[in-house]
Chain A
Amino acid sequence: MDIADKVPNETDRLEEQLLKNLRTTVERVLPIPHYQESYREIGITQAEDIKSIKDFQRLPLTTKEDLRKNYPFGLFAEPMENIVRLHASSGTTGKPTVVGYTRQDINLWAKIVANELERAGVTKKDVVQIAYGYGLFTGGMGLHYGCEELGAIVVPISGGNTARQLMLMRDFGTTVLACTPSYALYLAESLEESGISRDELKLKIGIFGAEPWTEGMREEIEARLGIKAFDIYGLSEIMGPGVALECPAHRGLHIDEHFYPEILDEEGNPLPNGERGELVITSIEKEGFPVLRYRTKDLTTLHYGPCSCGHFGWTMERVSARVDDMLIIRGVNVFPSQVEEAILLEGFEPHYLLVVYRVGNLDQLEVQVEVNETTFFDEVRELEGRQDKLKKRIEDVLGISVRIRLVEPKSIPRSEGKAIRVIDKRNKEG
C-alpha cells in the first residue's frame, strides 16, 4: 500500500497530499455518532490525529452492516436540506442501504463519469443507449448524468424490452451501449434472431459493469457485437458507477482520484500492491455520504503508478469475484467466474448455472451449460467427450468434482440486469 514502492521521488509530496485528503474525509465523518464512537475507542478525536497512512489504517472498517444499522440516514454528513438525491441498494438480504448526494456530489459524480467515458473514447457526438436500470439503483442515472456532462446524446431506455432496445439501437444510430455484461450478451444473442443485422448498427463502444465478468466473456461480447468493451466499476455505497473504468490499453481499471483504495486480507490487514484481497475504499471530497474504509466485498489487486494510456495513480485489476458470490462447497471456495472461464475456454456459450445441492451430507455441484450448434455432436461419444473435457477443466480449477449437465439453448434464464449464476438448494433442504 506504500506509495514509496513505485515513485520514490514524489513520495513525500503525494503522501502529504493524500493524507490531507483523507483527513478532510475523517473530519467530515467525525460528527457522525457511528464514526465518532468507534474512533474515540482508538484515541482519535480529531482529523489531526491522523499523522500517517499507518494511522489511517488503524481506523475501523465500515461495512454494509453499519449502513443497515444506521438506516436510513444515520451516516449522512450533511443536513437533509442539503441532500438533493437518494439512492438505495436492492437490499435483498435485509434493509436496503441508503446513500444521499448533495448538489455538489451529483456534479462531481457526473464529472468523474464524463472524464472516464472520454478516456474510453466516448465523445459528445456519440449516441449512448443506457440500458442499466434507472431508479434507486445507481447504474442508470450515474451513467446518464456522466454522459450529459460530456455532451453525448443520451438514450435513457433503462433495462428490459429487448426487441425495442435493438430497434432503437438501429434507428437512433446508437454508438455506445451501457449495461451489464450479461445483458449485453443477451442483446447480442437476440440480435441474431431479430432480423436486424449487425451491419445496420453503429455500435462501437460498450460500457459494461455492475457484475463480475471474465476476460473470455469480454472477447465473446466484443466479437458478437463488433465493439470495444470497457469494464466500469462502482457501487452505490461509494458513489455508483465510475469509481473506476477500464484503461483503453486494457491494463486494468483506473481508479478515479476521488477514491482512495486499499487491499486487505481476510483478517483486515493491509496487503502490499500486487496481492489479491478485498478492496476497501475511502471517498475523498464527497459531502452527503462520505465513506471511510468501506469494505466493498470485491476481490481484486491494486497497482500504483503511471500507465501507457497517460493515467497516473491507482489501478485495480478486473473484479473477478465478490466475497458474497463465493460458494463454499465441501470446504472449498468456489467462484462462479472460475467456472465461466473454463466454460468459455472449452468453447461453450457463457450461459451457465451453478446448482449446489446436498446428497446425504455431501455437497454436490452441478454445472448446467447450454449446447449450441457448434458444441453439439450427433455422436454421443463425441458429445460426452466434450462434456468430460469441460468437467475436467472445471475440476482442475476448482479442486472438487462437478457434474456437467448439457441443456438446451435458452433454457437458462436470461437476465436484463445482473445475471443469476447460482442456485443454492442446500439451505432449503436443511
Chain B
Amino acid sequence: MLQLSIFLENAKGRLAEVISLLADFKVNLRALSLADTKDYGVLRIIVDNPEETALKLRERRVVVSLTPVWVLKVPDRTGGLAEVLNQLVQQDVVVEYMYAFVEKENEQALVVLRVQDKAIMEKAMKTLNLPSK
C-alpha cells in the first residue's frame, strides 16, 4: 500500500491548512501520524486514492511523496501486536516506524509499518502468511 508523506513547515496553522485541503478534495483520512522535528513535520496519511490525492496536493504546491508501507491486521487483544512483531523480527525485518488505527466496521486493529528493506518484508509476509490489507 502507498502512504502519503507530506512535508510541513512548522508554521502556525499549516497542518490545519493541509488537512482542510484534503477535506476539500473529499479525501477520507483512514489513518494519520505526524512526525515532528524542531522546524518541520512529516505528516503520514493513509487514504483511498493515494496517487490521485498526491497529484492534487502537488498542484497546490505541497511537497508530497508516496511511500510503500504495509498495513497489517492485528488481533485486537493484549499481546496481539507483540506476536506479529516478534514473528517479523525473526524474519529479519527492521521497522523504521509504525502507527496504528482501528477500523470501525469490523472492530479491527491495523498497523501501518514502514520497513528498512522491502524485499525482506515481502519474503517475510509470504513465509508468515500474515493477514494484511
> Contact flags (1/0) for B3-42 with A, using CB distance below 8 Å?
1010111000010000000000000000000010101101
Query: Which chain A residue lies CB-closest to B14?
Result: A408
Residue pair A378, B39 in contact (C-beta under 8 Å): no
Residue pair B61, A410 in contact (C-beta under 8 Å): yes
Q: Which of A379, A381, A408, A410 contacts B7 (CB 8 A)?
A: A408
Question: Does A380 make an interface contact (CB < 8 A)?
Answer: yes
Q: Which residues of B contact A (CB under 8 A)?
A: 3, 5, 7-9, 14, 35, 37, 39-40, 42, 44, 58, 61-65, 67, 96-97, 114
Given contacts A376-B7, A380-B35, A408-B8, 14 further A-B contacts (CB under 8 A): A373-B58, A373-B63, A376-B63, A376-B65, A378-B3, A378-B65, A378-B67, A378-B114, A380-B42, A383-B42, A406-B7, A406-B40, A408-B9, A409-B63
Which DSSP category, helix, strand, loop or mixed, fits chain A's interface?
A: loop
Provide a sorted-by-A list of 12 A–B residue pairs whose CB atoms are within 8 angstroms: A373-B64, A376-B5, A376-B65, A378-B3, A378-B42, A378-B65, A379-B96, A379-B97, A384-B37, A406-B40, A407-B9, A411-B9
Query: Which chain B residue lies CB-closest to A404?
Result: B39
Question: Does A377 make an interface contact (CB < 8 A)?
Answer: yes
Taking CB atoms, residues of chain B closer than 8 Å to A378 are 3, 5, 42, 44, 65, 67, 114
Taking CB atoms, residues of chain A closer than 8 Å to B5 are 376, 378
* Interface-centre pick from B7, B35, B58, B67 (highest chain A CB count, 10 A): B7
**Cα distance A384–B9 in the bound complex, in angstroms:** 14
**Cα distance A196–B43 in the bound complex, in angstroms:** 32
* Interface-centre pick from B63, B64, B65 (highest chain A CB count, 10 A): B63
Taking CB atoms, residues of chain B closer than 8 Å to A410 are 61
**Cα distance A405–B61 in the bound complex, in angstroms:** 18
The 8 closest A-B pairs by CB, nearest first: A378-B5, A378-B67, A408-B9, A376-B63, A376-B7, A405-B39, A380-B35, A407-B9
Question: Does A342 make an interface contact (CB < 8 A)?
Answer: no
Query: Which chain A residue lies CB-closest to B67?
Result: A378
Taking CB atoms, residues of chain B closer than 8 Å to A379 are 96-97, 114
**Cα distance A53–B112 in the bound complex, in angstroms:** 77
**Cα distance A407–B11 in the bound complex, in angstroms:** 10
Task: Tell me the smallest distance from the CB of A113 to a CB of chain B, in Å.
Answer: 38
Taking CB atoms, residues of chain A closer than 8 Å to B97 are 379
Query: Which chain B residue lies CB-closest to A379?
Result: B96
Task: Tell me the smallest distance from the CB of A213 to a CB of chain B, in Å.
Answer: 25
**Cα distance A242–B114 in the bound complex, in angstroms:** 57
Residue pair A409, B61 in contact (C-beta under 8 Å): yes
Residue pair B7, A371 in contact (C-beta under 8 Å): yes
- A367-419 interface with B by 8 A CB criterion: 371-373, 376-381, 383-384, 405-411
Query: Which chain A residue lies CB-closest to B5?
Result: A378
Task: Tell me the smallest distance from the CB of B63 to a CB of chain A, in Å.
Answer: 5
Task: Tell me the smallest distance from the CB of B54 to a CB of chain A, in Å.
Answer: 10
Query: Which chain B residue lies CB-closest to A372?
Result: B63
Task: Tell me the smallest distance from the CB of A364 to a CB of chain B, in Å.
Answer: 14
**Cα distance A410–B14 in the bound complex, in angstroms:** 14
Task: Tell me the smallest distance from the CB of A77 to a CB of chain B, in Å.
Answer: 53
Taking CB atoms, residues of chain B closer than 8 Å to A383 are 40, 42
Task: Tell me the smallest distance from the CB of A335 to a CB of chain B, in Å.
Answer: 25
**Cα distance A277–B39 in the bound complex, in angstroms:** 39
Query: Which chain A residue lies CB-closest to B58?
Result: A373
Taking CB atoms, residues of chain A closer than 8 Å to B37 are 380, 384
**Cα distance A376–B58 in the bound complex, in angstroms:** 13
Taking CB atoms, residues of chain A closer than 8 Å to B63 are 371-373, 376, 408-409
**Cα distance A258–B22 in the bound complex, in angstroms:** 61
**Cα distance A408–B58 in the bound complex, in angstroms:** 12
Taking CB atoms, residues of chain B closer than 8 Å to A405 are 39
Taking CB atoms, residues of chain B closer than 8 Å to A372 are 63
* Interface-centre pick from A371, A378, A381, A408 (highest chain B CB count, 10 A): A378
Taking CB atoms, residues of chain B closer than 8 Å to A377 are 65
Taking CB atoms, residues of chain A closer than 8 Å to B35 are 380
Query: Which chain A residue lies CB-closest to B39?
Result: A405
**Cα distance A361–B130 in the bound complex, in angstroms:** 59
Task: Tell me the smallest distance from the CB of A391 to a CB of chain B, in Å.
Answer: 12
Taking CB atoms, residues of chain B closer than 8 Å to A411 are 9
Task: Tell me the smallest distance from the CB of B93 to a CB of chain A, in Å.
Answer: 16
**Cα distance A383–B42 in the bound complex, in angstroms:** 10
**Cα distance A181–B7 in the bound complex, in angstroms:** 28
Taking CB atoms, residues of chain B closer than 8 Å to A373 are 58, 63-65
**Cα distance A408–B62 in the bound complex, in angstroms:** 8
Taking CB atoms, residues of chain A closer than 8 Å to B39 are 405-406
**Cα distance A372–B7 in the bound complex, in angstroms:** 9
Task: Tell me the smallest distance from the CB of B77 to a CB of chain A, in Å.
Answer: 31
